[in-house]
């Protein structure tokens, strides 16, 4: 009797779980992985899904984010001058064959094309001194949004400058990821808050909401000072990104400093995140979005900012990568630490290589995640067969998220090339149309190749059955992460 009752209860729970998976999971690979899990491991699979897979408050938080994005963006598009069309007409040489990309980003994200001075920053030893100096010059406000902030040397140096600026009357607003920056809650965050900073987790982690909160992270790394100077890239606030500090592992990463009108695009996305995550809403105003004059005698680069996350109606990050790959004509050099591409990205890379484009991927030789590292290798065979060259960085760990296309276009940002960055995490990246900047980033890429082992297509085909099986299983598991 009891066996029949338990069996009926199990069937009802199974049907309910399957329906929830089908209705609530957008990604096809993730949907299939969850279904496989609940059928192969019935009880464990259901417990796993409802513990780590269900986004209990996703609809509520997404609705709030969409509302804030719409409200802010209406004012932004109305009040901030958009020079996209005139810059398209006057900058054909720098833009080249990437005009369709500019129009595409303007369409899907309302991203203005702007002129600004850009500085490439290689590793933390270049970024942190520049950041500290820029923070010291703040007069009105400092905005920061970071995935990981550590209670270490660099983390406390930045904290100390912020405390100093607060005492001088500068408004400090900070968003941090509650999961990755958990260590600063009782020290750095507390000290800043007590001094008068407005500091909040962008997505708060609560144990009973573990699923939603682990599946949506604020992966951005941005700083905005007075609405005129900004930083964006892959470098978190941590000593391990600074190779002048001995942490036992060389860390290769990239950031960019932006001075000029393009910073207003960074500010736009920070403000939406702030108003979505905190009770202290900020209003659109000239103090946050100042009119910035471009000095025509100085050299400027053209750029756009692209933001992604669950509040956006489209997968802006993935679509931007896809568009760039399909526009490539001669060279496409991509550096990324976490490479688990969607079918669309795979197809775009393969078609570029098969069309004669020199496509090169620079990935870690040893990932900081064994599952992700193994899953990445699942895709090597198809890419190598298409003519893509794959290089594995051996000097340390490569964490940069960059690309250079045709020695004209550059991308420096926070987005990995995986489902998390495409659909789940809040990400942001700069798209730069400038030959000199692209050449600088390309030179850095070619220099990094000296520290790499190139994957031989012939040797790769000699892999054993067990190795291939491990990569296939890791790829399946990665869809659940």
What pLDDT does residue 292 have?
A: 85
Is the model's pLDDT at 52 over the cut of 70?
no
Report DSSP letters for 188-219, one per residue: HHHHHHHHT-EEEESS---GGGHHHHHH--B-
Q: Which residues contact 225 (CB under 8 A, 6 or more apart)?
A: 134, 135, 137, 138, 141, 142, 143
pLDDT digits 0-9 by tens, 236-250 = 999 999 999 998 999
**165 tagged catalytic:** no
Q: Please identify which of the residues 239, 401, 418, 434 carries the catalytic annotation.
A: 401
If one compares 474 and 178, the residue with the highest pLDDT of the two is 178
Is the model's pLDDT at 439 over the cut of 60?
yes
How far apart are alpha carbons 325 and 443 in whole angstroms? 20
**219 tagged catalytic:** yes
Q: Please identify which of the residues 141, 143, 159, 219 carries the catalytic annotation.
A: 219
**385 tagged catalytic:** no
Q: Please identify which of the residues 143, 221, 257, 331 carries the catalytic annotation.
A: 221
Q: What percent of the chain has pLDDT over 90?
A: 63
**Tokens coding 207:** 């144990």
What pLDDT does residue 62 have?
A: 52
What pLDDT does residue 162 have?
A: 98
pLDDT digits 0-9 by tens, 315-334 = 999 999 999 999 999 999 99
Report DSSP letters for 45-57, one per residue: HHHHHHHHT--TT
Q: Please identify which of the residues 143, 216, 399, 448 carries the catalytic annotation.
A: 399
pLDDT digits 0-9 by tens, 267-287 = 999 999 998 888 888 888 999
Rg for the chain, CA atoms, rounded: 23
What pLDDT does residue 211 have?
A: 47
**370 tagged catalytic:** no
**Tokens coding 256:** 């960019």
Average pLDDT, the chain: 89
Is the model's pLDDT at 67 over the cut of 70?
no
- Which of 29-43, 160-174, 204-218, 337-351 is least confident? 204-218
What pLDDT does residue 50 have?
A: 73
What pLDDT does residue 398 have?
A: 97
What pLDDT does residue 295 have?
A: 61
pLDDT digits 0-9 by tens, 140-189 = 999 999 999 999 999 999 999 999 999 999 999 999 999 899 999 999 99
What pLDDT does residue 23 have?
A: 78
**83 tagged catalytic:** no
Is the model's pLDDT at 57 over the cut of 50?
no
- Which of 123-127, 252-256, 461-465 is least confident? 461-465
pTM metric for this prediction: 0.89
Half-sphere exposure at residue 337, Cβ-oriented, CA atoms within 13 angstroms: 23
How far apart are alpha carbons 145 and 172 in whole angstroms? 11
Please state the length of the chain.
Answer: 481
Determine whether 103 is exposed, middle or buried from the number of CB atoms within 10 Å of its CB (0-12, 13-18, 19+). Answer: middle
**Res. 41 pLDDT band, cuts 50 70 90:** confident
- Give me the phi and psi of 313, to 5 degrees please: -70, -25
Rounded to an integer, the average pLDDT of 187-202 is 96
Rounded to an integer, the average pLDDT of 344-349 is 96
Could you tell me the domains of the chain? 2-52 (no CATH), 58-83+117-299 (3.30.870.10), 316-478 (3.30.870.10)
Q: Please identify which of the residues 152, 178, 218, 226 carries the catalytic annotation.
A: 226
What pLDDT does residue 208 have?
A: 43
**141 tagged catalytic:** no
Q: Which residues of 151-161 are buried (b: 16+ CB within 10 A; e: fewer)?
A: bbebbbbbbeb
**Res. 479 pLDDT band, cuts 50 70 90:** low
């Amino acid at each position: 009797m009891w066996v029949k009752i338990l069996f009926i209860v199990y069937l009802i729970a199974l049907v309910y779980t399957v329906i929830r998976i089908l209705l609530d999971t957008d990604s096809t690979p993730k949907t299939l992985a969850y279904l496989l899990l609940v059928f192969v491991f019935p009880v464990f699979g259901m417990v796993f899904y409802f513990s780590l897979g269900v986004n209990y408050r996703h609809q509520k938080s997404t609705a709030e984010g969409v509302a804030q994005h719409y409200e802010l963006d209406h004012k932004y598009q109305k009040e901030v001058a958009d020079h996209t069309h005139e810059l398209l007409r006057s900058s054909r040489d720098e833009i080249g064959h990437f005009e369709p990309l500019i129009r595409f980003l303007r369409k899907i994200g309302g991203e203005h094309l702007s002129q600004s001075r850009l500085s490439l920053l290689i590793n933390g030893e270049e970024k942190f001194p520049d950041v500290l100096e820029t923070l010291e010059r703040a007069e009105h406000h400092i905005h920061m949004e970071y995935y990981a902030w550590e209670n270490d040397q660099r983390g406390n140096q930045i904290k100390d400058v912020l405390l100093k600026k607060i005492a001088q009357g500068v408004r400090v607003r900070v968003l941090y990821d509650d999961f990755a920056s958990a260590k600063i809650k009782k020290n750095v965050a507390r000290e800043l808050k007590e001094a008068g900073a407005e500091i909040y987790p962008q997505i708060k982690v609560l144990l009973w909401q573990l699923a939603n909160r682990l599946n949506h992270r604020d992966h951005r790394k941005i700083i905005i000072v007075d609405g005129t100077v900004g930083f964006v890239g892959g470098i978190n606030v941590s000593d391990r990104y600074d190779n002048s500090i001995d942490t036992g592992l060389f860390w290769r990463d990239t950031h960019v400093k932006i001075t000029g009108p393009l910073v207003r695009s960074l500010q736009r996305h920070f403000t939406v995140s702030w108003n979505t995550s905190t009770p202290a809403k900020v209003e659109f105003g000239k103090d946050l979005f100042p009119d910035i004059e471009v000095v025509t005698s100085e050299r400027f680069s053209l750029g756009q900012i692209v933001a992604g996350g669950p509040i956006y109606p489209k997968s802006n990050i993935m679509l931007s990568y896809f568009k760039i790959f399909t526009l490539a004509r001669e060279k496409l050099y991509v550096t990324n630490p976490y490479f688990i591409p969607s079918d669309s990205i795979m197809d775009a890379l393969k078609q570029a290589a098969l069309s004669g484009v020199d496509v090169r991927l620079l990935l870690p030789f040893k990932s900081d995640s064994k599952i992700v590292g193994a899953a990445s290798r699942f895709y090597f065979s198809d890419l190598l067969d298409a003519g893509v060259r794959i290089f594995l960085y051996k000097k340390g760990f490569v964490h940069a998220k960059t690309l250079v296309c045709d020695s004209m276009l550059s991308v420096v940002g926070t987005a990995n090339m995986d489902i998390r960055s495409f659909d789940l995490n809040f990400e942001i990246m700069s798209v730069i149309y400038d030959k000199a900047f692209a050449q600088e980033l390309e030179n850095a890429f070619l220099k990094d190749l000296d520290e790499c082992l190139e994957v031989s297509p012939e040797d790769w085909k000699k892999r054993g059955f067990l190795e291939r099986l491990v990569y296939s299983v890791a790829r399946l598991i990665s869809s659940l992460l």
